[in-house]
A and B are shown apart, each in its own frame.
Chain A
Amino acid sequence: MLQGEEVTGCPEVSRPAPPSHLTSGQTQPESDAIHAVAPASKLRWRTQLAVPIAALLALGVHLLFSKRVPPVETHSYTLLFWEILGVSIVLAIAQPFWTSLRRWMRHMCPIFTAAILLLGVWDVITLGFQLLPLPYFPGPAAVLRSLINDRALLLDSTWHSLVLLLSGYTLGVIAGLISGICIGWSTPVRYWGMPVLKVVGPIPATAWIPLAMVVSPSAIVSAAGLIALAVWFPVTMLTASGISNTRASYLDVARTLGAGRGYLIFRVAIPAAIPNIFIGLFMGLGASFLTLVVAESIGVKSGLGWYVSWAQGWAEYGKVFAALVIMAAFFSTLMTLLFKVRDRVLVWQKGVIKW
């Protein structure tokens, strides 16, 4: 055996260190970030003080305006700012001794500052000058109070929404992947399936609600079905196009290596289509949020969508906003999770496309 200069021995025995450019790639974002001007070891005062100053500002504004409201209503809101103040001071003290915390703070401080200032502005507009009609636009303090007071029901609603969303989404994704792979791979299936997909798919899933209510015995089941339908269309469309756009040369290579149909579909076409499939999964997730909220506010008697319309019925707009806040957190968490999964599955694309 001819030994080359790059030979390092059997990789099974000693796992070789990753190539240097792999490891350097991970540290790169830090080195060429906008903060590169500041010495990497120190956090600038401006960055450190932004959050506490913003918190003090928002708190001051709030105390100024909240004189005419009973203190019970604003107690937890003021407490929140004292907590933010306390935590940011503790973090500022801790960060010189903790590199990853420092990196995190450098990244997050500006965005936290902006969020706190936005709360202050909201406070000024609603509580301060009452520029927006009441009771439709309560101040942040009132929303926080509803959030805390009604936490049991909100938590329960979130749980119901989560179960419904995930069951519908999973169903839709499985169905979409199967139909997408069949349509993308097989010409006869594409011939018959594509027209159906093109005609039925673009109908918004929510348009089926009247029909779904008649057909299905339980509102929950029909809601899950509708969510699945909403997810199914984009997943099918993008999976099919991903599969049928597989580079012919990959399939040729696999065939000369002795690949059968199973290998060609599952080890070549599907991996090649994964970037497309993820676009479908993201679009499907967006569609599923919409369908979930609409279905819950019309037929299903539980979940965040139901909670919003229920609170609106009682004109408790603090609760409406509280539910909206929960929804925002809930949906964006799911989105973030899907992004994480994608980053995991598509590591091989890192460096191929703009990441």
Chain B
Amino acid sequence: MVALAETEASSLRIQQVSKSFPAPEDPLTRRPALSNISFSVAAGELVSLIGPSGCGKSTLLRLLAGLDFADAGELLIGSEPISDPSAERGLVFQDPNLFPWLTVRRNIQAGLVARGVLREKREEVNEFMRLVGLGSFANAYPHHLSGGMAQRVALARALINHPKVLLLDEPLGALDAFTRMRMQDEVLRLWQARRTTMLLVTHDIDEAIYMSDHIMIMTPRPGRIDRTISVALDRPRQRSSPDFLRLRGDILEFIHFAGNASTENKS
């Protein structure tokens, strides 16, 4: 029962959240980036967020991480309002943002150092370095890495803290197809082993279907959640099964429609 209560504490609830930014052309007016967003992610669920560029996906993740504040609305983790960043809510940024002055190994262990637990958990550093397949680059500096390698280091850096909620902003975007599929399985394995709540931003519809329990589709200007689709396929999923492909077709059709609608609105 205690364990259940603990996992419940990692659910996310977003209610009527809006966020606007000063418009670049006229700093006195504000332009909405998110408007009236509401959704919830149950503890231990993996939910994907897809949508066109600029619709506010990264903004939403920053709010959930506690790096920015919403203009209106409520963001809750469990029953606690989100106010500050915390190691409980890991965020993998769209850019790897590795610390250039630290080697790969030291980048990965940064979270342990920050929380002062490096001594107890030193073995995990090796484990995560193997996980992302960068063992031989332990002592290289970030600018020696390719884009995909850097993103894998960023992923390991966030995972090493064992966050209750993991917010992923296109973490696999720069990877080649093979590594990407391998990392998808790896993330799924971690997700199942730890019952981490995950919110995954992606541009890849296959990835969204392959990985998530639900897919939320966002539309831009201002960012809203247009539709939530539940993926009722058994795991492990087959990327070429008829059900998979049918769902893929549905989502593509929907996005195409939504895209047309938004361009019509604009004109």
List A residues at the B interface (Cβ < 8 Å): 1-12, 16-19, 21-22, 249-250, 252-260, 263, 267-268, 271-272, 274, 347-349, 351-352
Contacts and interface: CB of A to CB of B under 8 A. Distances in A.
B141 interface: yes
Given A16-B136, A249-B97, A1 B114 contact: no
Interface stretch (B25-33, B87-95, B248-256): B87-95
B138 A267 contact: no
A253 B93 contact: yes
A252 B138 CA distance: 24
5 contacts: A8-B135, A16-B139, A253-B97, A257-B114, A259-B114
B93 A8 contact: no
Closest 7 CB pairs of A and B: A258-B87, A4-B133, A257-B111, A259-B114, A255-B85, A271-B101, A256-B91
Contacts of A18: 139-140
Contact of A10 (B66, B126, B161, B182): B126
B67 A348 contact: no
B129 interface: yes
A8 to B, nearest CB: 5
B89 A274 contact: no
A191 B189 CA distance: 51
A4 B182 contact: yes
A216 B84 CA distance: 51
A274 to B, nearest CB: 7
B100 interface: yes
Contacts of B157: 253, 257
B86 A258 contact: yes
A267 B113 CA distance: 10
Given A21-B144, A260-B114, A272 B126 contact: no
B130 A1 contact: yes
B110 interface: yes
A112 B101 CA distance: 37
Contacts of B80: none
Interface residues of B, number: 49
A2 B185 contact: yes
A258 B161 contact: yes
Interface in B103-162: 105, 110-111, 113-115, 126-127, 129-141, 143-144, 157-158, 161
A9 B134 CA distance: 10
Given A11-B105, A351-B143, A6 B134 contact: yes
B99 interface: yes
A8 B134 CA distance: 9
B114 A22 contact: no
A347 B142 CA distance: 12
Given A256-B67, A271-B101, A2 B114 contact: no
The majority secondary structure among interface residues of chain A is loop
Nearest to B189: A2
Nearest to B149: A6
Nearest to A13: B126
Q: Chain A CB within 10 Å — which of B115, B144, B186 has the most?
A: B144
Contacts of B102: 271, 348
Contact of A22 (B84, B93, B144): B144
Nearest to B142: A348
Given A2-B186, A258-B86, A258-B115, A7 B130 contact: yes
A20 to B, nearest CB: 10
B200 to A, nearest CB: 16
B188 to A, nearest CB: 11
A257 B110 contact: yes
B129 A6 contact: no
B113 A263 contact: yes
B121 to A, nearest CB: 13
Given A4-B133, A7-B130, A271-B101, A352 B143 contact: yes
Given A8-B135, A259-B114, A348-B101, A249 B87 contact: no
A3 B130 contact: yes
A4 B132 CA distance: 8
A268 B129 CA distance: 22
A18 B139 CA distance: 7
A97 to B, nearest CB: 35
B225 interface: no
A17 B138 CA distance: 10
B136 A257 contact: no
A250 B99 CA distance: 7
A267 B99 CA distance: 10
B65 interface: yes
A161 B85 CA distance: 52
A15 to B, nearest CB: 8
Interface string B65-89: 1110000000000000000111101
